[in-house]
């Protein structure tokens, strides 16, 4: 009897699957994609040198501290009379000129930690410097506001702390097709068809089964969404370009995902940084321009906000190897079409008032930016997620 | 001793059960089994890899020559991976199983990260040495380890400018837990640890001129305390014993704590802090073998890997691939996430790791294709294969007298639901090798 009803159910289920899920999503695209706000987070891993990204062209201390790696006024892209962009930031300059880029300077937190691991954890969990949180800020967003793992997707093979919640984790995938294939193993199907309520009620074992069910359905959902639209925009031929292309595909297919987490690595420029950092900034800038173009072509740019950070900036004074060591406060980029303000939120650091290590002091706590994005963009209660009241900034 | 209980003991106190364990102990009482477990861990075998290139230099030369220092630093970092591999292999093959189990536990208690392989190796062997010893001596030894002195900034902790990092974590994470000390205790004790430093090859070095000789007031006592004095005072607090017992209980017995069991443990542990005595008590207690404690813990990635090798021993042809697996499953030995260590428990499992855990056994024991998603992330990985030498002969020999139906009793530690056992039954005509891979690939295998 049980077996019969199971067969019946699965027959029903598969007819739903075979039928027009693609068509359905195409329809709902028109109906539902308006006003569905999404956030893309970009992490520049390794500590991007903010001072050689946004250049204080009229600041003598900058040039004195960096005799061989300081970027000359003549080489920088002049965006204002005293601020220049790295020469590789031409696509970002265009976004700036069209009012789609907003720069927040001197972002950090009290008692900055200069370890990559630790500082990344601090940014990912939105913790204090001496506080160890088990769950990430996106994970806590999921706990409070979401129902499905795919409501937050990381474009990677394994999940960062940022997306781990107490009740709900996000899901990581770099390649929706590969994830789907992995999850679509007939063996899993067989296994799950043999699960019972008894399984689910067991505390830890039940958690495993529930996670498996959710992984399978999320993988399938993401895979199907990824097939709805296929972008024709050219992205840089780099892993980072692929991450954002997949992200744009999913957004343009009206996926029910609020937060995307992406990253570009290798910013740890202790030696000969001019070329290595320049190459990465070029990949970043070209990808951002392609992404904006892609989103615009489907009318989703208005409802997408892109937030870029790095776990720390770098020391003001260059080191002996024509590079820079780990520093503190840094700039954060916000890209979008609904920015209340354009240009710069605040002035660049004067470099006259550095901390004991010779690093830039923070002026804006990064959690104020999170609070802004949570409350003013994703329209949720920021305090529940950040465990503390942070004032929201006035830029969206 | 009942086989079910023997299996539970070996899962938790060692790294898994096998027919050999059963044969060895079939006629032993619980006490005899426990005695043997402790006896085989009486010896201490340090884990060492070849570091001659790094240890044969003269420290004075390194200070003078920057290029040499840079070269050595690079080389040192490169040695971390082989040391990680040696540790994992030690875990899967050791005869001192209980000592290694305790070492793994303490490595996550005294969570520490360093890139100097000489210091890392020394730290790792200090964990091994004290794993079943006296906890107070253990904490004192850890406080003087080069890797820890660097990791928690005691190196920067000087009379003129105290750094509280070590003092804080010493109390919050290593001994007392939050709520059992004050901010003043942290400030005062930080002064006692000023002047802690290390020599080039990792020996402890006390720098008198950076040490604060003033009177400190710590937990209602005043004096010219040094670091060891502070640790002595901390250990007078019963809350220290309770804190450690709770942590051990969560790891070895059940994540959900039973306060009366903790009380029994604390009474054994306080005031002498004898780890061996405490663990003997836990493994001999009746409640350790309660139903709610058997097969209800989620294996850590290292436990998971070790338990596979108990069925089919695996040798990686490329050590790097073992590292990749740890990374993908979220536990790279020697690289803890932070000073609080791995959270463990359900945090091991997310959508991605559950799929991997169920898929990987097939790949590992069959030299099968790695999904392209993994190779994309590690482009330097040669071809898309896990190159392993699975020792199927060992499996055949070890499980010779075990039928497919009985395999489950050795490999699965929790109850299998009626419906799943129906499914497994329908596959029992598979050959033994294929059938065992099925068992390694079910969610139930994740439990211990």
pLDDT, residue B215, reads 97
pLDDT at B320 over 90: no
Contact A207 B349 (CB under 8 A): yes
Ranking A93-107, A252-266, B115-129, B357-371 by mean pLDDT, the lowest is: B357-371
Work out the minimum CA distance from A169 to partner chain B, whole angstroms: 6
Task: Say if A326 falls within a structural domain.
Answer: yes
Contact A164 B441 (CB under 8 A): no
Nearest beta carbon to residue B347 from set A132, A164, A205: A164
B295: DSSP letter: S
Contact A194 B330 (CB under 8 A): no
State the pLDDT confidence band at A23, using cuts at 50, 70 and 90: very low
pLDDT tens digits, one per residue of B162-175: 989 899 999 999 99
Task: Say if A3 falls within a structural domain.
Answer: no
Task: Say if A205 falls within a structural domain.
Answer: no
Residues of chain B in contact with residue A169, where contact means CB-CB under 8 angstroms, are 350-351
Ranking A5-19, A88-102, B421-435 by mean pLDDT, the lowest is: A5-19
Nearest beta carbon to residue A169 from set B351, B376, B423: B351
Q: Which residues on neighbouring strands pair with residue A78, listed in sequence order?
A: A84
Among B12, B39, B14, smallest CA distance to B98 is for B14
In the block, tokens 């903010």 appear at A50
Task: Say if A50 falls within a structural domain.
Answer: yes
In angstroms, rounded to a whole number, what is the distance separating the alpha carbons of residues B42 and A262?
A: 49
Residues of chain B in contact with residue A162, where contact means CB-CB under 8 angstroms, are none
Question: B163 with B154: CB under 8 angstroms?
Answer: yes
Contact A171 B350 (CB under 8 A): yes
Residues of chain A in contact with residue B366, where contact means CB-CB under 8 angstroms, are none
Q: What is the mean pLDDT of chain A?
A: 88
Residues of chain B in contact with residue A202, where contact means CB-CB under 8 angstroms, are 296, 414-415
Nearest beta carbon to residue B351 from set A132, A191, A215: A215
Q: What is the CATH number of the domain that holds A170?
A: 3.40.720
pLDDT tens digits, one per residue of A306-335: 999 999 999 999 998 899 999 999 999 999
Nearest beta carbon to residue A199 from set B297, B337, B417: B417
Q: How many domains, in total, are found in chain A?
A: 1
In angstroms, rounded to a whole number, what is the distance separating the alpha carbons of residues B270 and B291?
A: 28
Contact B441 A187 (CB under 8 A): yes
Average pLDDT over residues A388-392: 96
Question: Strand, coil or helix: what is B357?
Answer: helix
CB neighbour list of residue A148: distance below 8 Å, 6 or more residues apart: A168, A214, A217, A218, A221, A256
Contact B373 A173 (CB under 8 A): yes
Number of Cβ within 10 Å of residue B271's Cβ equals: 11
pLDDT, residue A201, reads 62
State the pLDDT confidence band at A195, using cuts at 50, 70 and 90: low
Contact A204 B422 (CB under 8 A): no
Residues of chain B in contact with residue A117, where contact means CB-CB under 8 angstroms, are 113, 337-338
Question: Strand, coil or helix: what is B315?
Answer: strand
CB < 8 Å & 24+ apart, contacts of A181-189? A181/B371, A182/A219, A182/B355, A182/B359, A182/B371, A182/B373, A183/A215, A183/A216, A183/A219, A183/A220, A183/B355, A184/A216, A184/A219, A184/A220, A185/B358, A185/B359, A187/B358, A187/B438, A187/B441, A188/A212, A188/A216, A188/B358
Nearest beta carbon to residue B422 from set A178, A194, A212: A194
Residues of chain B in contact with residue A178, where contact means CB-CB under 8 angstroms, are 371-373
pLDDT, residue B382, reads 36
Task: Say if A248 falls within a structural domain.
Answer: yes
Q: How far is CA B160 from the centre of its chain?
A: 37
Work out the minimum CA distance from B90 to partner chain A, whole angstroms: 27
Task: Say if A152 falls within a structural domain.
Answer: yes
Q: Does A190 touch chain B (CB under 8 A)?
A: yes
pLDDT, residue A275, reads 95
Number of Cβ within 10 Å of residue B50's Cβ equals: 9
pLDDT at A198 over 80: no
Residues of chain A in contact with residue B414, where contact means CB-CB under 8 angstroms, are 202, 205
DSSP string, A290-332: HHHHHHHHTT-GGGEEEEEEES--B-SS--TTSS--B-S-EEE
CB neighbour list of residue A93: distance below 8 Å, 6 or more residues apart: A77, A79, A85
pLDDT, residue A28, reads 37
pLDDT, residue B375, reads 44
Among A84, A114, A85, A92, smallest CA distance to A42 is for A92
Average pLDDT over residues B118-146: 98
Nearest beta carbon to residue B168 from set A130, A202, A207: A130
pLDDT at A31 over 60: no
Among B96, B212, B213, smallest CA distance to B154 is for B212
pLDDT tens digits, one per residue of B67-112: 999 999 999 999 999 999 999 999 999 999 999 999 999 999 999 9
Nearest beta carbon to residue A211 from set B297, B351, B372: B351
Contact B418 A214 (CB under 8 A): no
Contact A194 B417 (CB under 8 A): yes
B285: DSSP letter: S
Contact A159 B351 (CB under 8 A): yes
pLDDT, residue A116, reads 87
In angstroms, rounded to a whole number, what is the distance separating the alpha carbons of residues B303 and B295?
A: 13
In angstroms, rounded to a whole number, what is the distance separating the alpha carbons of residues B114 and B335?
A: 8
Contact A158 B338 (CB under 8 A): no
Task: Say if A279 falls within a structural domain.
Answer: no
What six digits make up the tokens of B111? 């969570």
Share of chain B above pLDDT 70, in %: 96
Among A389, A379, A348, smallest CA distance to A81 is for A348
Work out the minimum CA distance from B338 to partner chain A, whole angstroms: 7
Average pLDDT over residues B394-400: 95
Nearest beta carbon to residue B352 from set A132, A171, A190: A171
Average pLDDT over residues A344-357: 95
In the block, tokens 């939050």 appear at B178
pLDDT at A2 over 80: no
Average pLDDT over residues A259-280: 94
Q: What is the mean pLDDT of chain B?
A: 92
Nearest beta carbon to residue A158 from set B330, B346, B444: B330
In angstroms, rounded to a whole number, what is the distance separating the alpha carbons of residues B23 and B4?
A: 14
Q: A153: domain range? A: 22-180+224-271+295-386
Contact A211 B414 (CB under 8 A): no
In angstroms, rounded to a whole number, what is the distance separating the alpha carbons of residues B266 and B259?
A: 10
CB neighbour list of residue A335: distance below 8 Å, 6 or more residues apart: A95, A100, A101, A102, A288, A292, A305, A306, A308
In angstroms, rounded to a whole number, what is the distance separating the alpha carbons of residues B86 and B79?
A: 11
State the pLDDT confidence band at A34, using cuts at 50, 70 and 90: low
Task: Say if A340 falls within a structural domain.
Answer: yes
pLDDT at B371 over 60: no
pLDDT tens digits, one per residue of A271-288: 899 999 999 999 999 999
Q: Which residues on neighbouring strands pair with residue A40, listed in sequence order?
A: A260, A306
Work out the minimum CA distance from A132 to partner chain B, whole angstroms: 7
Contact B351 A157 (CB under 8 A): no
Question: Strand, coil or helix: what is A84?
Answer: strand
Q: Which residues on neighbouring strands pair with residue A365, listed in sequence order?
A: A108
Number of Cβ within 10 Å of residue B213's Cβ equals: 12
Most A CBs within 10 Å: which of B168, B301, B373, B442, as the mutation test of the A interface?
Answer: B373
Within the 80-139 window of chain A, which residues sit less than 8 Å (CB to CB) from chain B?
A: 117-118, 121, 130, 132, 134
Contact B414 A205 (CB under 8 A): yes
Number of Cβ within 10 Å of residue B403's Cβ equals: 11
Question: Strand, coil or helix: what is B346?
Answer: helix
pLDDT tens digits, one per residue of B274-292: 999 999 999 999 999 999 9
In the block, tokens 């689910």 appear at A200
B318: DSSP letter: S
Question: B347 with B108: CB under 8 angstroms?
Answer: no
Within the 216-255 window of chain A, which residues sit less than 8 Å (CB to CB) from chain B?
A: 218-219, 239
In angstroms, rounded to a whole number, what is the distance separating the alpha carbons of residues B179 and B448?
A: 32
In angstroms, rounded to a whole number, what is the distance separating the alpha carbons of residues A367 and A389?
A: 9
Helices B66-78, B80-93: inter-axial angle, 10-degree rounding: 30
Work out the minimum CA distance from B357 to partner chain A, whole angstroms: 11
B161: DSSP letter: B
Contact A191 B346 (CB under 8 A): no
pLDDT, residue A197, reads 62
- Residue B23: what are its φ and ψ, rounded to 5°? -60, -45
Residues of chain A in contact with residue B374, where contact means CB-CB under 8 angstroms, are 157
Q: How far is CA B389 from the centre of its chain?
A: 25
- Residue A83: what are its φ and ψ, rounded to 5°? -120, 130
Q: Which residues on neighbouring strands pair with residue A102, listed in sequence order?
A: A334, A343
Nearest beta carbon to residue B373 from set A178, A188, A212: A178
Most B CBs within 10 Å: which of A1, A122, A132, as the mutation test of the B interface?
Answer: A132
pLDDT, residue A29, reads 37
Torsion of CA A144, A148, A150, A151, to 10 degrees: -30
In angstroms, rounded to a whole number, what is the distance separating the alpha carbons of residues B264 and B254?
A: 15
Element (H, E) at A103: strand A101-108
Ranking A9-13, A237-241, A372-376 by mean pLDDT, the lowest is: A9-13
Query: Which residue did the predictor score with more confidence, B309 or A26?
Result: B309
DSSP string, A223-274: HHHHHH----S---SSHHHHHHHHHHHHHHTT-S-SEEEEEE-----SSSHH
pLDDT tens digits, one per residue of B36-60: 999 999 999 999 999 999 999 999 9
Q: Which residues on neighbouring strands pair with residue A84, listed in sequence order?
A: A55, A78
Q: How far is CA B89 from the centre of its chain?
A: 13
Among A208, A202, A244, smallest CA distance to A91 is for A244
Question: B410 with B17: CB under 8 angstroms?
Answer: yes
Among A210, A177, A217, A174, smallest CA distance to A195 is for A210
Residues of chain A in contact with residue B373, where contact means CB-CB under 8 angstroms, are 157, 173-175, 178-179, 182
pLDDT, residue A185, reads 79
Q: Is the dihedral of CA A276, A281, A282, A286 positive or negative?
A: positive
């Amino acid at each position: 009897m049980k077996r019969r009803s199971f067969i019946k159910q699965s027959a029903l289920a598969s007819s739903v699957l075979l039928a027009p899920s693609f068509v359905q999503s195409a329809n709902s695209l028109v109906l539902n994609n308006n006003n569905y706000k999404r956030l893309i987070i970009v992490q520049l891993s390794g500590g991007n040198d903010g001072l050689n990204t946004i250049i204080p062209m009229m600041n003598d201390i900058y040039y004195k501290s960096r005799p061989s790696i300081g970027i000359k006024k003549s080489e920088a892209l002049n965006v204002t009379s005293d601020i220049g962009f790295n020469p590789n930031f031409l696509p970002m300059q265009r976004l700036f000129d069209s009012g789609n880029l907003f720069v927040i300077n001197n972002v950090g937190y009290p008692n900055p930690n200069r370890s990559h691991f630790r500082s990344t954890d601090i940014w990912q969990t939105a913790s204090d410097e001496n506080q160890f949180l088990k769950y990430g800020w996106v994970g806590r967003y999921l706990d409070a506001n979401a129902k499905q793992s795919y409501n937050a997707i990381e474009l990677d093979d394994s999940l960062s702390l940022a997306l781990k919640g107490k009740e709900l984790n996000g899901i990581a995938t770099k390649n929706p097709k590969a994830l789907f294939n992995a999850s679509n193993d007939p063996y899993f199907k067989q296994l799950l068809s043999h699960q019972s309520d008894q399984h689910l009620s067991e505390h830890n074992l039940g958690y495993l089964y529930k996670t498996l069910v959710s992984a399978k359905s999320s993988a399938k959902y993401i895979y199907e969404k990824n097939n709805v639209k296929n972008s024709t925009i050219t992205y840089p031929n780099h892993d980072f370009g692929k991450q954002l292309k997949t992200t744009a595909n999913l957004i343009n297919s009206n996926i029910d995902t609020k937060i995307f987490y992406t990253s570009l690595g290798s910013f740890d420029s202790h030696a000969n940084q001019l070329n290595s950092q320049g190459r990465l900034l070029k990949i970043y800038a070209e990808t951002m321009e392609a992404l904006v173009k892609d989103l615009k072509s489907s009318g989703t740019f208005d409802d997408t906000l892109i937030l870029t950070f790095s776990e720390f900036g770098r020391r003001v004074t260059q080191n002996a190897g024509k590079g820079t060591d780990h520093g503190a406060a840094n700039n954060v980029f916000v890209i979008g079409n609904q920015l209340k303000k354009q240009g710069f939120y605040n002035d660049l650091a004067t470099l006259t008032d550095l901390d004991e290590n010779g690093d830039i002091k923070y002026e804006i706590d990064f959690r104020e930016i999170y609070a802004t994005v949570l409350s003013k963009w994703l329209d949720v209660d920021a305090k529940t997620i950040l465990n503390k009241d942070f004032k929201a900034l006035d830029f969206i | 001793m009942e086989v079910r209980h023997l299996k539970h003991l070996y899962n938790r106190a060692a790294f898994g059960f096998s027919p050999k364990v059963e044969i060895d102990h079939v006629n032993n009482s619980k006490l005899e089994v426990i005695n043997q477990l402790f006896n085989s861990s009486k010896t201490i075998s340090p884990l060492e890899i070849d570091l001659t290139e790094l240890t044969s230099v003269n420290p004075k030369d390194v200070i003078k020559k920057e290029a040499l220092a840079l070269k050595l630093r690079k080389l040192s970092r490169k040695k971390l991976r082989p040391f990680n591999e040696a540790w994992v292999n030690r875990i899967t093959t050791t005869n001192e199983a209980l000592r290694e189990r305790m070492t793994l536990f303490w490595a996550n208690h005294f969570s520490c990260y360093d890139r100097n392989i000489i210091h890392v190796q020394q730290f790792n062997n200090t964990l091994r040495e004290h794993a079943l010893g006296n906890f107070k001596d253990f904490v004192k030894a850890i406080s003087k380890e080069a890797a820890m002195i660097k990791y928690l900034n005691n190196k920067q902790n000087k009379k003129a400018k105290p750094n509280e990092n070590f003092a804080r974590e010493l109390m919050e994470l290593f001994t007392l837990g939050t709520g059992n000390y004050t901010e003043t205790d942290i400030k005062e004790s930080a002064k006692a640890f000023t002047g802690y430093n290390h020599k080039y090859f990792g020996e402890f070095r006390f720098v008198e001129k950076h040490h604060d000789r003033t009177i400190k007031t710590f937990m209602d006592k005043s004096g010219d305390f040094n670091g060891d004095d502070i640790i002595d005072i901390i250990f007078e607090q019963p809350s220290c014993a309770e804190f450690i017992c709770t942590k051990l209980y969560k790891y070895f017995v059940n994540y959900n704590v039973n306060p009366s069991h903790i009380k029994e443990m604390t009474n054994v542990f306080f005031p002498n802090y004898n780890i061996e005595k405490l663990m003997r008590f836990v493994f001999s207690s009746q409640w350790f073998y309660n139903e709610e404690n058997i097969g209800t813990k989620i294996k850590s990635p290292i436990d998971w890997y070790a338990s596979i090798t108990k069925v089919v021993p695996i040798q990686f042809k490329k050590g790097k691939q073992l590292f990749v697996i740890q990374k993908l499953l979220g536990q790279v030995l020697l690289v803890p996430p932070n000073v609080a260590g791995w959270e463990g428990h359900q945090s091991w499992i997310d959508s991605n790791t559950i799929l991997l855990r169920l898929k990987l056994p097939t790949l590992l024991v069959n030299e099968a294709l790695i999904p392209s998603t993994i190779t994309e992330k590690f482009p330097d990985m040669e071809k898309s294969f896990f190159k392993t030498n699975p020792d199927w002969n060992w499996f055949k020999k070890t499980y010779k007298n075990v039928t497919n139906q009985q395999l489950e009793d050795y490999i699965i530690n929790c109850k299998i639901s009626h419906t799943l056992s129906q499914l497994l039954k329908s596959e029992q005509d598979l050959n033994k090798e294929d059938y065992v891979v099925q068992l390694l690939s079910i969610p139930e295998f994740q439990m211990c």
